[in-house]
């Protein structure tokens, strides 16, 4: 809704922009047609359910989303997750999980989590998208080659083994038609730039199959009985406490991936069109889309990077293009549904082959392997392996956890405690240090990751010093662990009859130390505003009145 209002204020619904947005919506609607059906089949749903999802989610995201140009619908990123949920809980379970995920996304947007999700590191994102690409590619072997594997297997390696065992029985007409579709997909962008490659492959393969009627080639008609030429009614999924508890994990999985994928798509759209999206409103819009889609026979949807990019290239400037895309798909269902029975499944698998390749981003994956640090490469490979062999959510959680630990380690290494030059203060004034006095400067955040290093460094200070001065001008913040470490240091030095003096504290750091009782334990006579005040003239400590005034100002 915000995007619609902003577009209206910017004059993007004027006659000047109207035609461009209608044309862009027509183009992206045609592009979305084969993709929606392919993603639905790969996710364990019926092809028409993919179309219903694209219609409802595309419309709702355009109306309620946080970006002007976002196109939502079924995406390849969801295939691995949704197929597993469908296999375990059925399509009804998938729809309940989708509705719950929509509510979670709305809650995330209201809680303003949009900016937080942006900070997932690139090696983690690249690792799980490449893993999903591999899962999609292998998952399409069955329909692409016309294989008949014996058994499936819950895990990737089991499924892969069964497919390899079934390769001697591949169906030649199906494989030939799939290769023809793949060739059309690869050649069309080079020869006919204005024709959507997925649509061209779908039309060619369907035409060939309708003409020659190859025996044994699976089509939408033979596998699903065709596509209904009517729209589903409003149906509320059956909800119970046991169902909600059982599907809460899958729902969070859908919500997490949907949030990541949608915000990535929004960032891509901003880069291409020079716009700025509202990440929190985008989560709310995607949540509304996922609440509404299962009510009309659909399933999980998210922002689609490829369709959003197509929308922008086609000249879209407002959410009207996304609304038009939904209307186009709706008309296709009502008018052209009977002709869809002859669409070969192998053609849809060929489309997903290309989708899987684009998702994997092999060039970027290889670039990271060559240029990233060893730690980042390890995170990339661990996330990729866990995505393929275990579970996407576990992969993302482990990847983010490892990346966070790596970041904290690097931050801790960057924190330094060095003996400060005692001959002058920050104003350049000459200082005379009393004998048996040492001055140290702490440079960096005094947080739990660096506390042990700081404590170890300060413990190494020679105990025969009468006074130790800690300059803390470059300490931007201190956490609870840092406060505890500093308290223990003060107590240790006092046991050794060594005076500890703090100077140049920032207001926020001083406020935390005062709240924790550290300054009271230190004594007002050992707290100074500058190094010069410690040894210069006048050498007046900070009294409690000035400390309180500073705290009030900083608050």
Rounded mean pLDDT, 31-60: 95
pLDDT tens-digit map of 126-178: 998 899 999 999 999 999 999 988 876 678 888 899 999 999 989 999 999 99
| Residue 165 placed within a domain | yes
Domain boundary pick from 375, 403, 431: 403
Confidence of residue 9 (pLDDT cuts 50, 70, 90): low
Q: Which two tokens stand for residue 219?
A: 């089509």
| Measured distance CA(138)–CA(155) in Å, rounded | 12
375 and 436 co-located in one domain? no
The enclosing H or E element of 499 equals strand 499-503
Q: Which two tokens stand for residue 114?
A: 């949009």
pLDDT at position 344 is 95
Q: Which two tokens stand for residue 473?
A: 């001008």
pLDDT at position 543 is 45
Under 8 Å between Cβ of 513 and 485 = no
499 and 351 co-located in one domain? no
140 and 192 co-located in one domain? yes
| Residue 410 placed within a domain | no
204 and 268 co-located in one domain? yes
| Residue 305 placed within a domain | yes
pLDDT tens-digit map of 46-75: 999 999 999 999 999 999 999 889 999 999
Largest CA distance in the chain: 101
pLDDT at position 431 is 64
311 and 449 co-located in one domain? no
Q: Please tell me the total count of domains within the chain.
A: 2
pLDDT at position 323 is 95
Residue 241: DSSP 8-state: H
- First vs last C-alpha separation in the chain: 37
Is the pLDDT score of 255 beyond 80? yes
Which among 391, 122, 455, 385 is positioned nearest to 267, based on CA atoms? Answer: 122
pLDDT at position 463 is 58
| Residue 145 placed within a domain | yes
Domain boundary pick from 403, 430, 445: 403
| Measured distance CA(61)–CA(68) in Å, rounded | 9
pLDDT at position 553 is 35
pLDDT at position 378 is 95
193 and 336 co-located in one domain? yes
pLDDT tens-digit map of 74-114: 998 899 889 989 999 999 999 999 999 999 999 999 999 98
pLDDT at position 429 is 54
Residue 6: DSSP 8-state: H
346 and 437 co-located in one domain? no
86 and 30 co-located in one domain? yes
CA distances from 258 to 77, 102, 139 (A): 9, 9, 21
Q: Which two tokens stand for residue 154?
A: 């819950």
Is the pLDDT score of 352 beyond 90? yes
| Residue 409 placed within a domain | no
315 and 423 co-located in one domain? no
Q: Which residue reads 């979670």 in tokens?
A: 104
pLDDT at position 14 is 55
pLDDT at position 547 is 41
pLDDT at position 430 is 57
| Measured distance CA(346)–CA(183) in Å, rounded | 13
DSSP string, 170-216: --HHHHHHHHHHHHHHHHHHHH-TTS-HHHHHHHHHHHHHHHH--TT
Q: Which two tokens stand for residue 436?
A: 């048996």
**288 Cβ neighbours under 8 A, 6+ residues apart:** 60, 61, 64, 102, 106
Confidence of residue 203 (pLDDT cuts 50, 70, 90): very high
pLDDT tens-digit map of 377-404: 999 999 999 999 988 778 888 998 998 8
| Residue 408 placed within a domain | no
| Residue 411 placed within a domain | no
399 and 437 co-located in one domain? no
Domain boundary pick from 382, 403, 424: 403
| Measured distance CA(103)–CA(87) in Å, rounded | 23
444 and 394 co-located in one domain? no
**357 Cβ neighbours under 8 A, 6+ residues apart:** 133, 137
| Residue 103 placed within a domain | yes
Mean pLDDT estimate for the chain: 86
Which among 394, 372, 446 is positioned nearest to 131, based on CA atoms? Answer: 394
Is the pLDDT score of 537 beyond 80? no
| Measured distance CA(352)–CA(136) in Å, rounded | 7
pLDDT tens-digit map of 291-334: 999 999 999 999 998 899 999 988 898 999 999 999 999 999 98
Distance, C-alpha 491 to centroid of its chain: 46
Confidence of residue 216 (pLDDT cuts 50, 70, 90): very high
342 and 295 co-located in one domain? yes
Structural domain of 432 = 416-554
pLDDT tens-digit map of 433-491: 778 888 888 898 888 877 777 777 766 665 567 888 899 999 999 999 889 988 988 88
CATH code: domain of residue 426 = 3.30.750.24
């Amino acid at each position: 809704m915000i995007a619609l209002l902003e577009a209206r204020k910017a004059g993007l619904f004027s006659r000047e922009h109207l035609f461009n947005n209608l044309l862009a919506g027509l183009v992206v609607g045609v592009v979305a047609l084969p993709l929606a059906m392919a993603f639905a089949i790969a996710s364990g749903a019926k092809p028409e359910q993919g179309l219903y999802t694209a219609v409802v989610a595309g419309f709702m995201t355009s109306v309620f989303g946080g970006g002007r140009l976002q196109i939502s619908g079924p995406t390849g990123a969801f295939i691995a997750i949704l197929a597993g949920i469908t296999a375990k809980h059925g399509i009804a379970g998938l729809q309940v999980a989708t509705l719950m995920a929509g509510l979670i996304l709305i809650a995330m947007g209201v809680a303003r989590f949009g900016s937080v999700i942006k900070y997932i590191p690139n090696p983690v994102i690249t690792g799980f998208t490449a893993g999903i690409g591999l899962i999609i590619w292998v998952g399409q072997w069955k329909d692409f080659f016309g294989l008949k594997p014996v058994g499936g297997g819950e895990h990737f390696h089991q499924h892969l083994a069964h497919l390899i065992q079934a390769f001697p029985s591949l169906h030649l007409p199906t494989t030939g038609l799939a290769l023809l579709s793949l060739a059309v997909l690869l050649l069309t962008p080079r020869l006919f730039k204005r024709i959507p490659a997925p649509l061209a492959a779908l039309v060619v393969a369907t035409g060939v199959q309708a003409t020659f009627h190859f025996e044994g080639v699976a089509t939408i008609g033979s596998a699903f009985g065709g596509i209904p030429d009517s729209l589903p009614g409003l149906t509320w999924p059956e909800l119970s406490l046991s169902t909600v508890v059982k599907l809460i994990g899958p729902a969070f999985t859908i919500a997490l991936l949907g949030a990541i994928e949608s915000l990535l798509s929004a960032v891509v759209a901003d880069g291409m069109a020079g716009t700025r999206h509202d990440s929190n409103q985008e989560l709310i819009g995607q949540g509304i889309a996922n609440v509404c889609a299962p009510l009309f026979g659909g399933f999980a949807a998210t922002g689609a990077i490829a369709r959003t990019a197509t929308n922008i290239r086609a000249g879209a400037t407002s959410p009207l293009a996304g609304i038009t895309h939904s209307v186009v798909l709706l008309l296709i269902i009502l008018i052209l549904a009977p002709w869809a029975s002859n669409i070969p499944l192998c053609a849809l698998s060929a489309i997903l082959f290309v989708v899987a390749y684009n998702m994997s981003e092999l060039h970027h994956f290889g670039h990271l392997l060559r240029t990233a640090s060893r730690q980042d490469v390890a995170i990339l490979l661990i996330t990729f392996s866990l995505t393929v062999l275990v579970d996407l959510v576990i992969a993302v959680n482990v990847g983010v956890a490892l990346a966070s630990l790596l970041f904290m380690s690097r931050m801790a290494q960057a924190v330094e405690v060095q003996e400060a030059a005692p001959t002058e203060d920050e104003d350049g004034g000459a200082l005379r240090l009393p004998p048996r006095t040492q001055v140290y400067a702490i440079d960096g955040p005094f947080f739990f990751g660096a506390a042990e290093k700081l404590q170890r460094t300060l413990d190494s200070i020679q105990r025969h010093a009468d006074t130790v001065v800690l300059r803390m001008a470059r300490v931007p913040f201190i956490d609870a662990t840092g406060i505890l470490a500093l308290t223990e240091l003060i107590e240790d030095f006092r046991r050794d009859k060594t005076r500890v003096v703090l100077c140049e504290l920032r207001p926020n750091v001083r406020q935390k130390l005062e709240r924790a009782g550290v300054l009271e334990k230190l004594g007002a006579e050992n707290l100074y505003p500058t190094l010069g005040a410690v040894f210069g003239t006048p050498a007046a400590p900070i009294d409690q009145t000035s400390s309180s005034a500073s705290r009030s100002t900083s608050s």
